[in-house]
Chains A and B, each alone.
Chain A
């Protein structure tokens, strides 16, 4: 909240500087506005930027580093015995101090050392807040005064302002790169730490997945097994089921809509199908778990089959439904890109419409369709909520769609939801799985885009 108030003050100061800067420029020009290098408003922006930007940098810097610096100071102020504690205990102590300082816990229960540290903490916190406040305001005023002193008739304010804006645009556009970099580095680092505890080969080739590690080191039994093959096979099984639903339905829908349907049918049914793509996955998950799974179970039992209540089939079918519009719109694009001359040629040879579609259009559109299907597969692999809610947790190595399987995404969620420490193989395993997931979906996307692009070049 303090920060928010500070930002508001800063905004007001910047607006004021804008008007002051413009006024200054008008005054400097002595009424002869054309003599100015830039329009008067640019001098206003120039001054406003000088007022706000350096101060803003300080605020952002503070936001990122304040807590760690304050923590360091508080720790150094602790008695030596406490400061020498291992990190987890130290974190607990710090938590206690912070809670006490924020008056979340009653002061009477705390030991004197903690109480002293809490006082120390709140004192530092106050000092830090004051410093930030004073520094920001000073920088803001200083920047504005400096900028104002530089305003004169020949000052190229517009170029400076536009240069600053350009820098902002460039910085924004690099965020995409930093995001990718962030994803790669964060999963990679944690995955490497995981592979120091569990060998890569065990992870990629092991057939046993039971990530529950013992709570106490002396406990008997499971030390955790991290063979991810059952997860990969489960993911594949669910994706294959999804694609068996989505590809025929989606492809035939696309063919019907682009080749047979009248424009009005097409105009009405396409947006309706697109709704399927816009429904949140958690809704599909609910639908799969509460409607489809019991239905399949009921059918299976009436046929005398034993169906798990969290069968791969239910999750797969619902995921397939979700992907239908994805497949159909991508196939639609591919089919529409086939030139009319190919169709006319086929008709001229006496082919019926369906023969033209099967023998000419589909082969011609095949790269685009395959690209679309690959994108859909990458979607199916990365889909989380449907499988979290409808597929199971047990890592069975099976190809039977009526049994319960688990997937990579389900395991990531179960391993990371709730409290966790970042040095157990259990949590780190989630990042290793994330890395596999990222790599596989990235590869599928790159291949798909490559195929699609190559195909497009042929007809354009």
Chain B
């Protein structure tokens, strides 16, 4: 300030001299910011692209058309042993016979085995179910589409490359030639993969489906919802509306906040030690999974419900109390209905978290290989994320696309749930 007037010009010059540099720095900083945002979004796109591009083919499955003759085994199916005869018939033989008829010039045993390997081992059950459903098919010739084996499927979908030397791929040159011959006859075709949605788990990729895991997820989440929603809402109501601010309520609050940040695997340890070891609950059942996930999602629901209760203006409470309602009546008849949309939103988000959770369920044994589709909460089951984990571990190439497809189904559910939550919030939540 007390410098000579020339000094001021020097300052201004110095500021002007630095301006270009500072503006460049400003621009740089800004573009770095934009770049990081784009990086984050790019990761999202890459993730989705990689899952979808790997997985979309799994919604189709290669089928091979065979001429099946339900031959002399099925004569006399009207006798009293009909059902037994149908159940124990040699369906594999029928398929082999049909394949041999298709390629009459193969006689080498090893080659025949390779030929048989083109058809899925599940085709047998398909034939059996077909004739069980309609015994009138006995002694008829039918053209039946049976699923191809996973390797044939991978070739048709282009995941097994023909250029690769024979020793390095899972299909031999001969097998590829046969498939080409079948294809030329129009006997190979890609159809919608219904088995993926109707079957349980299987060691054979072409037979593996997500229905069992999906049922397991639904059962587990039902247990979680039935327990965590009432308990979470009750806790929130108590803490917001009734609790006197003291050491006890502080302790509960601190506990809830800390539980929200405890790693999920620790909840798995708790479940293993308490529910399975001490209480002797069976392993791998949705009941225990639901209990563990309940403890895990409770903090989310409680925190959201408390926020919802807090957003109800005090005037509502005062008005109710003013006309003579008891505290309990005020809360249950006036505050709670207004806070319910917010609570539901929080609950849906908590459920979405629970649906994607894997680690704690590994701890309580929901990783078993289970073929049957569970129907109750006391039956061994697995859940969708765990199924993804199991398939991701499988060596077969065909499981990669199935894993990706299962991920797409899981993400579809999650997106639907979150969209529902957003919609609920927009539609029902009132601004005061």
Enumerate chain A interface residues (CB-CB to B < 8 A). 1, 64, 67-68, 158, 162, 165-166, 168-170, 172-177, 179-180, 182-183, 186-187, 189-190, 248-253, 255-257, 259-261, 269, 272-273, 275-276, 278-287, 289-291, 321, 324-325, 328, 350, 352-355, 357-358, 375, 378-379, 381-385, 388-389, 409, 412-413, 416-417, 422, 430-431, 434, 437-438, 441-442, 445-446, 449
Contacts and interface: CB of A to CB of B under 8 A. Distances in A.
A409 B32 contact: no
A286 B392 CA distance: 7
A367 B312 CA distance: 31
A324 B251 CA distance: 31
A384 B264 contact: yes
Contacts of A248: 36
B432 interface: no
Contact of A172 (B235, B266, B272, B414): B235
Contacts of B262: 183, 382, 438, 441-442
A183 B348 CA distance: 25
Contact of B273 (A281, A290, A431): A431
21 contacts: A175-B231, A176-B235, A186-B273, A189-B273, A249-B36, A251-B36, A255-B33, A273-B44, A275-B44, A280-B414, A282-B358, A285-B389, A286-B404, A321-B47, A350-B15, A383-B263, A384-B264, A385-B358, A412-B363, A438-B263, A438-B266
B47 A280 contact: no
Contacts of B274: 182, 186
Question: Could you say which interface size class chain B belongs to?
Answer: 35 or more
A354 B26 contact: yes
Given A354-B29, A382-B264, A287 B36 contact: no
Interface in B306-365: 326-328, 352, 355-359, 362-363, 365
B133 interface: no
Given A165-B328, A172-B235, A328-B40, A256 B30 contact: yes
Contact of B22 (A175, A283, A355, A375): A355
Contact of B414 (A173, A278, A417): A278
A194 to B, nearest CB: 13
Contacts of A383: 263
Contact of A375 (B242, B261, B268, B277): B261
B37 A253 contact: yes
Given A68-B280, A248-B36, A290 B400 contact: yes
B411 A352 contact: no
Contacts of A284: 47
Contacts of A290: 54, 392, 400
Lowest 8 A-B CB distances belong to which pairs? Answer: A382-B263, A280-B356, A256-B33, A186-B273, A252-B36, A354-B29, A172-B234, A384-B359
Nearest to A320: B43
A353 B28 CA distance: 12
A429 B269 CA distance: 12
A118 to B, nearest CB: 19
Contacts of A355: 22, 25-26
Interface of B: 15, 22-23, 25-26, 28-30, 32-37, 39-41, 43-44, 47, 50-51, 54, 230-231, 234-235, 237-239, 242-243, 251-252, 255-259, 261-270, 272-274, 277, 279-280, 295, 298-299, 302, 326-328, 352, 355-359, 362-363, 365, 367, 376, 385-386, 388-389, 392-393, 400, 403-404, 407, 410-411, 414, 418
A173 to B, nearest CB: 4
B30 A260 contact: yes
A260 B31 CA distance: 10
A172 B231 contact: yes
A162 B363 CA distance: 40
B270 A253 contact: no
Contacts of B298: 175-176, 179
Contacts of A166: 238, 242, 328
B255 A176 contact: yes
Residue of A179, A278, A449 most packed against chain B (CB within 10 A) = A179
B295 A179 contact: yes
B25 A354 contact: yes
Nearest to B355: A280
Contacts of A275: 44
Contacts of A64: 279
